[in-house]
Amino acid sequence: MAFSPQTSYPTRSDVACNPLLLDQFLAPANALLAGYLRNVRDEGVISDPTFVRLGALRVLSQAVSGRDFLQLSTETFGETLVRSSFFATFHSKRRRSLLDELNAQLVARSDGRRGDPREDLLAAFPELRQRAVFAVDGHQLEHACHARRDREGHYVPGNTLFVLCLHSALLVNLGAVQGDGERRHEMPVFRRRVIDWLEGRHVSEETLPIFVADPAFVDKQFWTRMALWQRRGALVITRTKENMRPIVYGSHGWDQQAAINQGIEADERVGFDGATVMRRVRYRDPETGTTYEFLTTVMDLAPGFIALLYLLRWRIEKVFDTGKNKLQERKAWATGETAREIQAHFFALTHNLLMLLRRELEHSHGIRERKVEKKRTLALEKRQQVAVAAGRTVHPLQWCLPPIVQQTAQFVRTLRNGIWTKARWNTVLPRFEAMSESYL
């Protein structure tokens, strides 16, 4: 039977199956480890399933150091770990590859359910059903305690590239950029890593995936090649830079009556030296009057989709905010590129498991973040009142944008407290339901 995050969970009515909340949380990852990933090792001082469990627990734990986490694990779960063995796992290239494959499988299997309103955050837009859409950005952490300094004697913050699927809201670590005394720019690392990553995804030649990125990822020649490279190609949506002076070749027509195109002022074909024809879309926000210019190699979508998808790029920033402020993931765990990538894989994995657990709560138990939905609705109503008073209006699509993917602090605390108190799944369900209804 094909793996599905939903079918891997026990149901509420199955009285004989009432697992620990921790086991319920890890169920999608454990299902893949047990039957779908190769070269999983169940033996050794720290087996691969134990390694995955410990990594996810460390992200959730808010521990300030590795020793802090080891003491917490020993005193809470009675699991005594040898410090040297635990720290050695973060320098294992084999385990790094295991986590890479695990996260890739979670994202690919969820992405395969595009169009399902229960699974796809972009299901309201059928034009995007066949288009893989990813937000990409780098995320920085404070250097590890024993990190090397650069030539000038300064510490270098760790920086890792992440890709967020805008259909499923699941996250993938694309690769480490800098750290341990070495400074690098994101775009060269992205160019090198993304081609191999796309090849592993079996990209369709008919509908190339779209990457939504900030202007730091502008590389006209690279994106020109990617638009023409059918096997491992990709398209981009980004913002123009002030110093760009393209040649304008002409304009596209667009349906000015369509709601998606509200605010569009121009849709032009433009060119640059060394690059093929690209597209420049100018959009004026009907709520604020602010004008934005987007540069893209996506030629077949209405111009309003270009603005919409760039607006959704901020969701990856919300994921990073959750990591820093709700999971307290602010500092590198260890030195070395392998350790930085393993930590990034664990952050992505923990985020993905949180998202899948939220969906399980909603689909099987009717528990969803109603307080967040109510707060968002009230905020939109207030924004509309302010906009109307200024002679403007909130864009109509704001009311049907996909749900917010940021985890609430209450949800994370309920999960963490339930895991650390060894609560059973059916016991903790009423806590999740109470948490979803109102703020503390």
Is there a contact between 170 and 164 (Cβ–Cβ < 8 Å)?
A: yes
**pLDDT score for 304:** 95
Q: What percent of the chain has pLDDT over 70?
A: 94
CB count within 10 Å of CB 230 equals 11
**pLDDT score for 206:** 60
Residue 16 corresponds to which tokens in the numbers above? 């004989």
**pLDDT score for 16:** 46
> What is the C-alpha separation between 295 and 285, in angstroms, rounded?
17
**pLDDT score for 43:** 87
pLDDT, tens digit, 9 for 90 and up, residues 139-186: 999 998 888 888 888 999 999 999 999 999 999 999 999 998 888 899
**pLDDT score for 265:** 96
**pLDDT score for 103:** 93
Three-class SS state of 434: helix
Compute CA distances 382 → 126, 287, 377, 378, 386, whole Å.
Answer: 29, 12, 9, 6, 6
Mean pLDDT to the nearest integer, 123-149: 91
Query: What is the band of 231 on the pLDDT scale with cuts at 50, 70, 90?
Result: low
Residue 49 corresponds to which tokens in the numbers above? 């399933």
**Could you tell me which of 82, 52, 51 has the C-alpha nearest to residue 67?**
82
404 against 137, higher pLDDT: 137
Query: What is the band of 205 on the pLDDT scale with cuts at 50, 70, 90?
Result: low
Compute CA distances 77 → 54, 74, 192, 238, whole Å.
Answer: 11, 6, 42, 47
- How far apart, in Å, do the first and last CA atoms of the chain sit? 42
Q: Work out the angle between the directed axes of helices 409-420 and 48-61 (0-180°, nearest 10).
A: 130
Q: Work out the angle between the directed axes of helices 48-61 and 21-35 (0-180°, nearest 10).
A: 140
pLDDT, tens digit, 9 for 90 and up, residues 37-65: 988 999 888 999 999 999 999 999 999 99
**pLDDT score for 4:** 46
**pLDDT score for 141:** 92
Containing 346, the helix (H) or strand (E) segment is: helix 337-365
Mean pLDDT to the nearest integer, 82-111: 91
**pLDDT score for 388:** 96
Is there a contact between 55 and 25 (Cβ–Cβ < 8 Å)?
A: no
pLDDT of residue 117 exceeding 90, the answer is no
Residue 397 corresponds to which tokens in the numbers above? 């699509």
CA atoms within 13 A on the CB side of 71: 7
Mean pLDDT to the nearest integer, 239-257: 89
pLDDT of residue 204 exceeding 60, the answer is no
pLDDT, tens digit, 9 for 90 and up, residues 326-379: 999 999 999 999 999 999 999 999 999 999 999 999 999 999 989 998 999 999
> What is the C-alpha separation between 22 and 33, in angstroms, rounded?
16
Query: What is the band of 434 on the pLDDT scale with cuts at 50, 70, 90?
Result: very high
Query: What is the band of 81 on the pLDDT scale with cuts at 50, 70, 90?
Result: confident
**Could you tell me which of 74, 107, 112 has the C-alpha nearest to residue 351?**
107
Using the structure block, give the residue that is written with the tokens 């030539």: 151
Phi/psi of residue 235, each to 5°? Answer: -120, 165
Query: What is the band of 9 on the pLDDT scale with cuts at 50, 70, 90?
Result: low
pLDDT of residue 12 exceeding 70, the answer is no
Please report, for the chain, the start and end positions of each structural domain, with discontinuous segments joined by +: 368-437
> What is the C-alpha separation between 54 and 333, in angstroms, rounded?
13
**pLDDT score for 403:** 72
**Could you tell me which of 436, 430, 428 has the C-alpha nearest to residue 20?**
428
Query: Following DSSP, what letter does each residue of 78-137 receive, concatenated?
Result: -----HHHHHHGGG-HHHHHHHHHHHHHHHHHHHTTTT-TTT-TTTT-GGGTT--EEEEE
**pLDDT score for 290:** 95
Neighbour-count burial of 136, counting CB atoms closer than 10 A to its CB (0-12 exposed, 13-18 middle, 19+ buried): buried
**Amino acid occupying residue 137:** D
> What is the C-alpha separation between 60 and 419, in angstroms, rounded?
10
**pLDDT score for 5:** 44
pTM passes above 0.85: yes
What is the chain's mean pLDDT, rounded?
Answer: 89
